[in-house]
Amino acid sequence: MSFDLQQPTIERASLKMLAIGAHPDDVEIGAAALLTKMREHGHGVHVLVLTDDPVNSTTRRAEARAAAAEMGIPSDRVIFAGIQDGRLRADTDSVSLVRQLTRQLDLQPDVVVTHTQADSHNDHVEANRIAHAAFRDCVFLHYSIHVSSEISHFKPAIFINVSPDRLWVKDRALESYHSQVSRIGRHDLTKYEEKLGKLARLDRAEGFEIFLQYGADDTIRKTIGLSDSPFHRFWLPTVTEDTVTLLYELHSGWDSPETFMHRNIARDKLRQAFINQWLPYPLREQHSNTDEALAVTRSGSIVTVGGPQANPVARECQNVSTLVWTVEGGGVSSSARYLQNQKVGTRLYSSSPGNVRDLGYIARFENPFANGAHVVSVAGITDFAERAGVEFLTDPSRSPDLARIFDEHPYAQVVYSADADGLRIIDVQLPVTLANGGGGGYDGEDALGACHEPRLWDSCV
């Protein structure tokens, strides 16, 4: 599977990026696909090479300029600090030199790309320290060099797809280093990129740790917007104002220990996914029947878990006919619950008692109570189905067909059946655009019906 789709347009504003390598070729090995993507999106990129090979510095500087040109970076944007190879130290002199070089170019980067500390090469580690000392108000992306990577400590969160077209550019850039061809280890690099890709369920990827300095709040969202990982692509449009609030389902009198287990596991996974992959941590949590839940529903993006019987906010969304599918029925036995299509009345039941088919829905739609915000709504007719739906939110790439639907259609409502392998699509509802005369309903019908004025906590009559 491979995700190589358009980025959300809201992330298109220009960034100023400085990519720092201890040696010529480091930046190309660790971040060529990122720099290529930056150029594709019209962001400004400079490259700074910190050290020179004392024997053939002229050759290697020329190779570095040629490699940058392959990535669309003009030669006047490639700068050299000229420190001796193997002697890099994060001391006052080197930090001052870097500041002086960038000041001469009037370059104040928003994003600094540099080596990870999880590296066994001293020059690489020192380059990381110099970069952090030299700049302020920045987001940092740390890349790794496969031959010296300390993979157990490298914790990438942002992933750039090394798609065939970017690989072509990367190959050309690396081939510019004629003097280093035998040293770069292309076969190993391929295997390394495949290993990084597996972390984000991409065929092949560059991975980057992300660090946030004080004052870089405006840049962090655009930087996350560069990521090709399905998790970031799903959540980027929904995490508005840096937050999204998870609104729990209510407890019912017949909740079993298994119910609590499934809910806890799903919530833990969602928290962990954001801890690992998002800055600043955006997830807030509330019970859905509180005044606080009401306030956050009116002010930002939310995730509701549970159908209209189990979650008052989901019920309000259904009341304004935003939700096409809902969970109905129930009581003690989950096999008595079913999914109902509110437009046409279709019901989907478990196949038979004792052989419960784990059906659920995931819907993403505009928050009818807060402009510019989203609702992600998940519910299942069984605890397992509901957990599987929330787990999709933690790792959309587990079900690539479903991830692709939400990637291509910000507002989709999908019914799934869940098993251990992931989610299988049963039904897809897509909103009808105004151009089709649908008035914002779903699938050609005016789903708003008689209730045009959303009123929170009131039923429409």
Q: Give the contacts of 26 (CB within 8 A, at least 6 positions apart).
A: 49, 115, 124, 127, 145
Question: Candidates 18-26, 267-275, 318-326, 336-344 — which segment interacts with Zn ion by CB under 5 A?
Answer: 18-26
Measured from the CB atom, the residue of 125 and 305 that comes closer to Zn ion is 125
Measured from the CB atom, the residue of 131 and 405 that comes closer to Zn ion is 131
Measured from the CB atom, the residue of 71 and 381 that comes closer to Zn ion is 71
Question: Candidates 15-23, 80-88, 226-234, 277-285 — which segment interacts with Zn ion by CB under 5 A?
Answer: 15-23
Cβ 1 vs Cβ 43: under 8 Å: no
CA angle 303, 305, 310 (to 5 degrees): 135
Query: How far apart, in whole angstroms, are the C-alpha atoms of residue 149 and residue 207?
Result: 12
Question: Candidates 17-25, 59-67, 203-211, 428-436 — which segment interacts with Zn ion by CB under 5 A?
Answer: 17-25
Question: What does residue 166 show for φ and ψ, rounded to 5 degrees?
Answer: -70, -35
The three-class DSSP label of residue 241 is: coil
Q: Measured from the CB of residue 114, what is the shortest distance to Zn ion in angstroms? A: 12
Measured from the CB atom, the residue of 125 and 323 that comes closer to Zn ion is 125
Q: Give the contacts of 455 (CB within 8 A, at least 6 positions apart).
A: none
Q: How many CB atoms lie within 10 A of CB 268?
A: 11
Question: Candidates 21-29, 222-230, 304-312, 368-376 — which segment interacts with Zn ion by CB under 5 A?
Answer: 21-29
Q: Give the contacts of 431 (CB within 8 A, at least 6 positions apart).
A: 365, 409, 411, 412, 438, 440, 441, 442
Q: What is the amino acid identity at position 384?
A: F
Q: Give the contacts of 82 (CB within 8 A, at least 6 positions apart).
A: 51, 52, 57
Measured from the CB atom, the residue of 23 and 233 that comes closer to Zn ion is 23
- Backbone torsion region of residue 27, taken as left when φ is above 0, otherwise alpha when ψ lies between -120 and 50, otherwise beta: alpha
If one asks whether residue 26 binds Zn ion (CB under 5 A), the answer comes out as yes
Residue 148 DSSP code: G
Q: What is the amino acid identity at position 214?
A: Y
Q: How many CB atoms lie within 10 A of CB 243?
A: 17
Question: Which residue, among 279, 158, 130, 276, has the nearest Cα to 214 in the 3D structure?
Answer: 279
Strand 337-341 vs strand 347-349: parallel, antiparallel, or unpaired? antiparallel
Q: Give the contacts of 304 (CB within 8 A, at least 6 positions apart).
A: 247, 288, 311, 313, 314, 317, 375, 376, 377, 378, 379
Q: Measured from the CB of residue 188, what is the shortest distance to Zn ion in angstroms? A: 14
Q: Tell me which residue has its CB nearest to Zn ion.
A: 23
Measured from the CB atom, the residue of 22 and 32 that comes closer to Zn ion is 22
Cβ 303 vs Cβ 393: under 8 Å: yes
Q: Measured from the CB of residue 61, what is the shortest distance to Zn ion in angstroms? A: 15
Question: Candidates 23-31, 278-286, 348-356, 395-403 — which segment interacts with Zn ion by CB under 5 A?
Answer: 23-31
Q: Measured from the CB of residue 198, what is the shortest distance to Zn ion in angstroms? A: 24
If one asks whether residue 63 binds Zn ion (CB under 5 A), the answer comes out as no
Q: Measured from the CB of residue 65, what is the shortest distance to Zn ion in angstroms? A: 17
Measured from the CB atom, the residue of 127 and 415 that comes closer to Zn ion is 127
If one asks whether residue 23 binds Zn ion (CB under 5 A), the answer comes out as yes
Q: Measured from the CB of residue 122, what is the shortest distance to Zn ion in angstroms? A: 10
Measured from the CB atom, the residue of 7 and 59 that comes closer to Zn ion is 59
CA angle 298, 251, 336 (to 5 degrees): 105
Q: How many CB atoms lie within 10 A of CB 290?
A: 13
If one asks whether residue 28 binds Zn ion (CB under 5 A), the answer comes out as no
Question: Candidates 16-24, 175-183, 291-299, 376-384 — which segment interacts with Zn ion by CB under 5 A?
Answer: 16-24
If one asks whether residue 52 binds Zn ion (CB under 5 A), the answer comes out as no
Question: Candidates 14-22, 157-165, 217-225, 287-295 — which segment interacts with Zn ion by CB under 5 A?
Answer: 14-22
Measured from the CB atom, the residue of 184 and 363 that comes closer to Zn ion is 184
Q: Measured from the CB of residue 35, what is the shortest distance to Zn ion in angstroms? A: 16
Q: Measured from the CB of residue 23, what is the shortest distance to Zn ion in angstroms? A: 4
Q: Measured from the CB of residue 22, what is the shortest distance to Zn ion in angstroms? A: 5
Q: Measured from the CB of residue 124, what is the shortest distance to Zn ion in angstroms? A: 6
Spell out the SS3 assignment of 35-77: HHHHHHCCCEEEEEEEEECCCCHHHHHHHHHHHHHHCCCCHHH
Measured from the CB atom, the residue of 143 and 159 that comes closer to Zn ion is 143
- Kindly identify the residues of this chain, within the stretch 280-309, that bind Zn ion according to CB under 5 A: none
Q: If binding means CB under 5 A, how many residues of this protein chain bind Zn ion?
A: 3
Q: Measured from the CB of residue 327, what is the shortest distance to Zn ion in angstroms? A: 56
Measured from the CB atom, the residue of 175 and 443 that comes closer to Zn ion is 175
Q: What residues line the site for Zn ion (CB under 5 A)? A: 22-23, 26
